[in-house]
Amino acid sequence: MFKSAPAKWLGILSLALLAVGCAGQNAGELLSSRIAQAPASAIAGEHEIFVATTRAKAADTKQVFSGDRSPVASFARVDMTVPAIHKTGEIERRLNGQLSDPAKYFTAKSVTTFDSIGGFSKSLSQDINERGGRALVFVHGYNTAFDSAVYRLTQIAQDAGYSGTPVLFSWASGGRVVDYVYDNNSATAARDALEETLRLVAKSGAKRIDIIAHSMGNWVTMEALRQLAVTGDRTLGGRLGDVVLASPDIDVDVFKSQMVRYGKPDKPFFLFLSKDDRALDLSRLIAGNKPRVGGYENAADLAGLGVVVVDLSNASAGDRLNHTKFADNPVLVKLLGEKLLEDRTFGTAELSGRNSRIGSLAGGITQTISSAAEIVITTPFEVLNVVVGGAK
- 244: which strand partners? 212, 270
DSSP-derived letter for residue 188 is H
Shortest CA distance to 18 belongs to which of 303, 319, 221, 233? 319
> CB of 324 within 8 A of CB of 216?
no
Per DSSP bridges, beta strands 165-170 and 208-214 are unpaired
Helix pair angle (191-203, 217-230), 10° resolution = 70
Q: Tens of pLDDT along 203-231?
A: 999 999 999 999 999 999 999 999 999 99
Angle at Cα 198 formed by Cα 78 and Cα 167, nearest 5°? Answer: 20
CB atoms within 10 A of CB 280: 27
Is residue 101 a contact partner of residue 107, using CB atoms and an 8 Å limit?
Answer: yes
Residues 6+ apart with CB under 8 A from 172: 53, 54, 55, 56, 66, 67, 68, 69, 70, 186, 189, 190
- pLDDT for the residue numbered 23: 41
Q: pTM of this prediction?
A: 0.86
Residue type for 72, please? V
Please give the Cα distance from 148 to 341 (Å, whole number).
26
Whole-number Å distance between alpha carbons of 245 and 350 = 23
At 66, which helix (H) or strand (E)? strand 65-83
Output the pLDDT for position 316. Answer: 61
CA distance 161 to 131: 13
What is the chain's pLDDT, residue by residue, as a tens digit (392 residues)?
A: 344 445 444 454 544 444 443 344 445 899 998 999 999 999 999 999 999 999 999 999 999 999 999 999 999 999 999 999 999 888 999 988 889 999 999 999 999 999 999 999 999 999 999 999 999 999 999 999 999 999 999 999 998 888 899 999 999 999 988 899 999 999 999 999 999 999 999 999 999 999 999 999 999 999 999 999 999 999 999 999 989 999 999 999 999 999 999 999 988 898 999 887 877 877 778 777 788 998 888 999 999 999 999 888 876 666 677 676 766 765 565 665 554 346 443 333 333 344 555 555 555 554 544 443 456 788 887 655 544 444 33
Q: What is the pLDDT of residue 40?
A: 96
Cα–Cα nearest to 137, from 272, 243, 271 = 243
Distance separating alpha carbons of residues 145 and 212, to the nearest angstrom = 18
**6-353 adopts what CATH topology?**
Rossmann fold (3.40.50)
- Backbone dihedral region of 275: left (phi > 0), alpha (psi from -120 to 50 degrees) or beta? alpha
Domain ranges of the chain: 6-353
Adjacent-strand bridge partners of 251:
292
Contact 388, 362 (CB under 8 A): yes
Q: What is the pLDDT of residue 66?
A: 97
**For the segment 148-180, what is each residue's pLDDT rounded down to a tens digit?**
999 999 999 998 888 899 999 999 999 988 899
Grouping H, G, I as helix, E, B as strand and the rest as coil, residue 324 is coil
Amino acid, res. 328: D
Q: What confidence score (pLDDT) does residue 283 get?
A: 79
Contact criterion met (CB below 8 Å) for 292 and 283: yes
Distances from the Cα of 241 to the Cαs of 54, 186, 284, 304, 314, in angstroms? 24, 26, 31, 20, 28
Q: Is the Cβ–Cβ distance between 131 and 166 less than 8 Å?
A: no
